[in-house]
Structure formats: structure tokens, C-alpha cells
């Protein structure tokens, strides 16, 4: 029995050591590849954020831009994504970042620390984090990290098998074209519950300190790089807005008031921009009809574009 246990422990140790060795090698190669990436010099604007700007801001309409949004992306991951991109030689002058009433919900923190969520998020983002941040996350949830390693390695290998271009990396994102028109009571209710209520308890959420912290870090990196930051609250249906808990609306405007004093930040609040119902994909996302209208509106407001 003792011999069996020793052999089992030895097997586990060798397997774990080999997996970690592969992981560290992939981590090095992955980041080394990213340093070689460059933009088309005509690209001057990055569109960043979650599913709101992902479906609302069309990079074919907004000239010299590229939409790199991903659904549910929190500012923590956006910040580290931008660090990687802006460290490379590029001509980025403007960043359009989504900032909505739900942007400071506590559920976003689960993407970073909760085991169930990090198995989805770490394969996309973990390798682009700073090494010190990786160590911090491993200490916070070692079990969750170990469980996500196979998925991180798999996603990295898929990336290695493709040409070394930004859009072949899982963190990159895109403009989501949608022809849907599904503005119903059911999806309005589902969106309100998803955005403003805790997914476990169903109670009204608290605010995320991490979201605010990393929004300010994004602002700081834009300031250092002499990049103009635009914070866009894209249109939502009147029916959805009427059901948003008041504390989230107040919190959003408290933050925008503080940001108004920053020279290189401009708030673009289009939440109540009136659009026909056929411009909404659902309660709080535009379809391609709405995206074309609001993207053209942004161009007309921001003369630099």
C-alpha cells in the first residue's frame, strides 16, 4: 500500500511539474509573439469594452478604427489588453470605451476570482496579465487556476497555429453584426436581473471597487500615452432604462461628474438617444441598424474623427 501511494504521489508530482513547465514555456512564447505585432498605421482609434460597444460601434462606419470589444469584458481585462497593445509601435490617438449604468456592478469581480467564471475568462486573458498579477490571482484561487491551465494551454496552442496577427488572439474582439429585433418584456427582465442582481442570491448588487479602480488605470495609461479617452454610454431601450435601480444611475453620474474635470476624457452619454424599435437587438443592445445610426452620430460629434 505504501509503495502504491508513493508511486501515485510521484506520478502526480511529475504530471504537475510537466504541466507547469509547459505552461511557463507557453507563457513566455505567447508574450514574445505579441511584442512583434503591429497595427495598420491608418488605425488611430480603438473601440473597447463589453457587449454594449461591441454591438453598437461599427468600425466600418467610424473611420480608421477597430472594434476589439468582447462580451462581458470587465475593465480589469480591458486595462491589461490595452497595456499589451499600446506597448507596441502604433498610431493610436483615441480610445472609445463603453461605460454604462451596469458597468460598476459587483458581478464583474467574479470574472477575476470565481472558479466557475475564470475557466471561461483565463483562457482568453490570463497570459496577457503582468507576471505579478498572475502570481496574485494564483494565490487568490490556486484551485481555480490549476483547473483552468488545460484550457489556457489549449487556447494558446490554437493561437500558435495561426498567423501572428492581432485578430487571431482570443483577447482581441470584434464588432458584432446583428440583424435581430427582439425587444420583449422577457429579455428586458432577464437583462435587468443579469446586470443589477447578484447571480447567486438574486439580491440587488453592490458596486465593484475593482471596476472603478481599473477605469482610472485606463485613464492614467491614456494620459501617459497622450491618448484621448471617450467614454460611451450607448443607447438602451426606454423600457430597460425605466427598470434600472436608481442607485446604479446615481452611481454612474457621480463617476461622470468626477471625470469631467479630466482634460483628456469626454463623456458621450447616448443612453436616451431615441431610436426606432427596429434598431434594438434586445433590451440593451443595438442591432446593425442602430449601430450605423449611433456610429455616425459619434463621428459628427467628435470632430477629430
Q: Output the pLDDT for position 87.
A: 84
Residue 94, H or E segment: strand 94-98
Q: Give the span between the Cα atoms of 57 and 290, in whole angstroms.
A: 9
Q: Is 78 helix (H, G, I), strand (E, B) or coil?
A: helix
Tell me the domain boundaries of the chain: 14-301
What is the CATH T-level fold of the domain 14-301, as seen in this structure?
Rossmann fold (3.40.50)
More confident residue, 1 or 285: 285
> Average of pLDDT values for 121-129?
97
Cβ atoms within 10 Å, residue 299: 15
The one-character DSSP state at 148 is H
Q: Are 272 and 241 in contact (CB under 8 A)?
A: yes
- Statement: residue 9 has pLDDT above 60: no
Query: Can you give the pTM of this predicted structure?
Result: 0.91
| Amino acid 38: pLDDT | 84
Strand, helix or coil for residue 45: strand
Confidence category of residue 268, pLDDT binned at 50, 70, 90? very high
State the pairing for strand pair 94-98/65-67.
unpaired
DSSP secondary structure letter of residue 207:
B
Per-residue pLDDT tens for 167-181? 999 999 999 998 878
Q: What is the mean pLDDT of residues 247-259?
A: 95
Query: Which has more confidence, 221 or 303?
Result: 221
101 and 271 in contact (C-beta within 8 Å)? yes
In this predicted structure, the answer to whether residue 2 has a pLDDT above a threshold of 70 is: no
DSSP 261: T
pLDDT band at residue 1, thresholds of 50, 70 and 90? Answer: low
pLDDT at residue 14 greater than cutoff 70: no
Alpha helices by DSSP H, listed for 35-56, are 51-56
State yes or no: pLDDT of 119 exceeds 90.
yes
Lowest mean pLDDT among 30-44, 114-128, 235-249: 30-44
- Examine the pLDDT at 255 and tell me if it is beyond 70: yes
Average pLDDT score over residue span 141-166: 95
% of the chain surpassing 90 pLDDT: 73
Q: What SS3 state is found at 62?
A: coil
C-alpha cell at 99: 461605460
Burial letters 180-193, b for 16+ CB under 10 A, else e = ebebeeebbeebbe
> What's the distance, Cα to Cα, between the start and end of the chain in Å?
73
Report the percentage of the chain scoring pLDDT > 70. 92
Burial 222-251 (b: 16+ CB within 10 A, else e): beeeebbbbbbbbbbbebbbeebeeebeeb
The better pLDDT of the pair 243, 41 is held by 243
Strands (E), 160-264: 228-233
The arrangement of strands across the sheet holding 94-98 comes to 65-67, 45-48, 94-98, 228-233, 265-269
pLDDT at 17: 56
Q: For residues 297 and 18, which has the higher predicted lDDT (pLDDT)?
A: 297
Highest mean pLDDT among 47-56, 177-186, 197-206, 260-269: 47-56
Rounded to an integer, what distance in angstroms lies between the CA atom of residue 81 and that of residue 83?
5
- Give residue 164's pLDDT: 96
Angstrom distance (rounded) from CA 155 to CA 280:
33
Amino acid at each position: 500500500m505504501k509503495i502504491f501511494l508513493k508511486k501515485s504521489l510521484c506520478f502526480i508530482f511529475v504530471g504537475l511539474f510537466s504541466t507547469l513547465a509547459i505552461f511557463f514555456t507557453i507563457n513566455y512564447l505567447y508574450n514574445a509573439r505579441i511584442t512583434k505585432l503591429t497595427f495598420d498605421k491608418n488605425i488611430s482609434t480603438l473601440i473597447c469594452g463589453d457587449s454594449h460597444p461591441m454591438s453598437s460601434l461599427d468600425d466600418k462606419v467610424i473611420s480608421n478604427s477597430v472594434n476589439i470589444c468582447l462580451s462581458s469584458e470587465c475593465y480589469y481585462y480591458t486595462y491589461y489588453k490595452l497595456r499589451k497593445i499600446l506597448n507596441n509601435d502604433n498610431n493610436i490617438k483615441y480610445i472609445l470605451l463603453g461605460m454604462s449604468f451596469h458597468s460598476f456592478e459587483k458581478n464583474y469581480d467574479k470574472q477575476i476570482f470565481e472558479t466557475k467564471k475564470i475557466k471561461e475568462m483565463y483562457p482568453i486573458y490570463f497570459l496577457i496579465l503582468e507576471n505579478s498579477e498572475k502570481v496574485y490571482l494564483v494565490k487568490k484561487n490556486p484551485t481555480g487556476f490549476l483547473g483552468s491551465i488545460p484550457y489556457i494551454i489549449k487556447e494558446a496552442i490554437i493561437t500558435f497555429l495561426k498567423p501572428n496577427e492581432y485578430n487571431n488572439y482570443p483577447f482581441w474582439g470584434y464588432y458584432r453584426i446583428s440583424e435581430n429585433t427582439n425587444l420583449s418584456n422577457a429579455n428586458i427582465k432577464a437583462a435587468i436581473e443579469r446586470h443589477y442582481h447578484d447571480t447567486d442570491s438574486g439580491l440587488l448588487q453592490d458596486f465593484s471597487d475593482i471596476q472603478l479602480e481599473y477605469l482610472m488605470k485606463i485613464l492614467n495609461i491614456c494620459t501617459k500615452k497622450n491618448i484621448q479617452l471617450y467614454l460611451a454610454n450607448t443607447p438602451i431601450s426606454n423600457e430597460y432604462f425605466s427598470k434600472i435601480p436608481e442607485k446604479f444611475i446615481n452611481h454612474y453620474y457621480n463617476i461622470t461628474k468626477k471625470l469631467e474635470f479630466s482634460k483628456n476624457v469626454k463623456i458621450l452619454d447616448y443612453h436616451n438617444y431615441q431610436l426606432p424599435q427596429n434598431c434594438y437587438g434586445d433590451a440593451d443592445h443595438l442591432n446593425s441598424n442602430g449601430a450605423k445610426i449611433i456610429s455616425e452620430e459619434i463621428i459628427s460629434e467628435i470632430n477629430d474623427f
